[in-house]
Structure 1
């Protein structure tokens, strides 16, 4: 159905005259007549009866009018859902459990008047950058090594240094530790099933494991976070790594422990990525908020991969 014809029908019904509807729509009276004639042909009914005073709705026209209004409301909502400046600010947080989701929720609390569309793209940094470039999302978070080529018009800024914690069950040898060093993790099995063997995440964990002699086990089917936590809670030797800003929930009976890793604290650096010419009016406010929340740890306190250290502290 031609939505412009429907819009013209509603305008004519409200005005009671084709001439006035034409003025409201900034088109000619002839165009109004043509659109309504086309709509009547499509519906195979008469919608108006011409009178000396203008145009009066037929019984069919009266029946169609509320549905026509709803069609226009739905069309406007559909348009607003995807059009920058009218739709919600769309941000890819990568994973709803990690620090990026928490940071965006803090922004929402500070600016509840800004409508947000929170999404999680199934993409590596290249795929996420492509989504930003295409306008599918307004911003995303990923590790962006300085040597990685970023297309013209795409901007990145270091944003989050999420320190690692060790997550263990109550029977694990390190369960009672107030903190551990990366060196103390050597010889313990760190289980991260489903960890991608390629891309920036794999590069990070490969360098982390090499630097401190860690054993990171990626073997095994992925049954979800709940199944992973259940296995760790019942194991005397399994552990995994989680971000300090990540959010997980488990039954009290699991008695899981989050043990800080220090001296140095391994950090997975995340940058915010956006398109320089993105017209969405809320994007600058989002970036300004992120910048106000950004903190940089002293270099002596944290460990960063060699490909990220210089960029994070620039």
Structure 2
């Protein structure tokens, strides 16, 4: 069924004049007559009768009109859902409990009028996220390409914000009573980070972190998700993990887990944002501006070699 013919029928029915419908749709009156005639042939009914004052709906036309309106509305919504600039701002995050999702949620709470679509591509290789940005599948992605030379010219990468790391331990762990910890105090302790995928940005991050501070970072074993990890930490006297200070984790009260900031230097996971270099989504800049409102990083920080140098204003530096 020709949806433009249906749209033409709806406007003619609402206006009662083929000429008025033609003027509103930007076509000739003859084109309106042809569209309605074609629709009547498809439906095998008469939709209008002509009168001295214009057109009136037949009984079949009256029955068809509410469904035709729904059809036109559905088509318009479908087009809006995929049209850049009019559809929701679609941003990829690593997980819905990640720091990226938390920051986006904070932004949305301050700007509830923003039509925001937060998605997770569930890919480990950041170059797959780059391809999704190039193809227009997402408007932006919180991913870092650790070798900027491999980033295509059509995609821009900027520094978004830094996520300070905390040690997460159960009550029986020997470091559980500490209020803060230095990287040197983490040595010899098993830091379990399941799910470190080859070629991922976080694999590079943890490799450099382990080398820089002689840490025992263990990625062995399957990743059964955060809930299982938290259960293991609650019962363990020797296993810890690292989490971002803005990452959202929930656990039963009897787990008594402790989040302990790592300082001197603060270990920072740098978060970047990928988006098209030309014609980005018009509502993306407001989100980027929001990064500047985040709390600045401490003076003494550690970052991997591929990240931008730390600054007191922790937002908006382009990485090229």
TM-score by length of 1: 0.92
Residues 166 and 245 of structure 2 are in contact (CA less than 8 Å); yes or no, is this contact kept in structure 1? Answer: yes
8 Å CA contact 2:159–2:308 kept in 1: the answer is: no
- Alignment partners' CA distance in 2, 1:143 and 1:263: 25
Separation (CA, whole Å) in 2 of partners of 1:308 and 1:223: 30
Q: Is the 8 A contact 1:46 1:61 kept in 2?
A: yes
* Separation of aligned partners in 2, 1:279 and 1:217: 39
What corresponds to 1:112 in structure 2?
A: 112
Gaps of 5+ in 1: none
Q: Secondary structure at the match of 1:293?
A: coil
Match of 1:19 in 2: 19
Cross-structure match for 2:275: 274
Q: What are the residue-to-residue correspondences of 1:26-37 with 2, within 5 Å? A: 26-37=26-37
| Map of 1:188 onto structure 2 | 189
Contact 1:159 / 1:294 at 8 angstroms: preserved in 2?
Answer: no
8 A Cα contact 1:144 1:308, kept in partner? no
Q: Distance in 2 between the 1:264 and 1:143 partners?
A: 22
Q: Give the drift of 1:85.
A: 2.0
Q: Deviations over 1:136-193 (max 9, x none)?
A: 2222212233544222232222121111111111111111111222222222221122
- Residues 164 and 265, structure 1, Cα contact 8 Å, conserved in 2: yes
Aligned to 1:305: 304
What's the counterpart of residue 52 of structure 2? 52
Partner of 2:78: 78
Q: Deviations over 1:197-247 (max 9, x none)?
A: 222211111111122222222222222211111111111111111001111
Pair 1:201-2:202 in alignment: yes
TM-score, with structure 2 as normaliser = 0.90
Unmatched 5+ stretches in structure 2: none
Contact (CA 8 Å) 2:166, 2:244: kept in 1 or not? yes
- Partners of 1:90 and 1:138 within 8 A in 2: yes
Counterpart position of 1:93: 93
Change (3 A) 1:208 1:245: same
Q: Is the 8 A contact 1:92 1:140 kept in 2?
A: yes
CA distance in 2, matches of 1:90, 1:19: 41
> Secondary structure of 1:46's partner?
coil
Corresponding residue for residue 295 of structure 1? 296
CA deviation map 1:267-297 (0-9, x unaligned) = 1111122223225332222222223437344
Q: Which residue of 2 aligns with 1:170?
A: 171
Alpha-carbon distance in 2 for matches of 1:69, 1:129: 39
Whether the 8 Å CA contact 1:144–1:270 is kept in 2: the answer is: no
| Aligned twin of 1:65 | 65
2:90 partner SS = strand
Residues 158 and 311 in structure 1, CA contact (< 8 A), matched pair in contact too: no
Higher alpha-carbon deviation: 162-171 or 174-183: 174-183
- Report the Cα distance in structure 1 between the residues aligned to 2:57 and 2:148, rounded to whole angstroms: 67
Question: 1:133 corresponds to which residue?
Answer: 134
Root-mean-square deviation over aligned CA pairs: 2.0
What secondary structure does 1:268 align onto? strand
Alpha-carbon separation, structure 2, partners of 1:196 and 1:279: 30
Distance 2:309 2:105 in 1: 29
Q: 1:42, CA displacement in angstroms?
A: 1.9
Tell whether the 8 Å contact from 2:167 to 2:241 is kept in structure 1 after alignment.
yes
Distance 1:113 1:44, change over 3 A: same
1:246 maps to 247
Q: What is the Cα deviation at residue 129 of structure 1?
A: 1.9
Tell me the matched-pair count: 312
Would the alpha carbon gap of residues 294 and 166 (structure 1) be closer, same or farther in structure 2, given more than 3 Å must change?
closer
Pairwise CA distance, 1:54: 2.4
Residues 94 and 142, structure 2, Cα contact 8 Å, conserved in 1 = yes
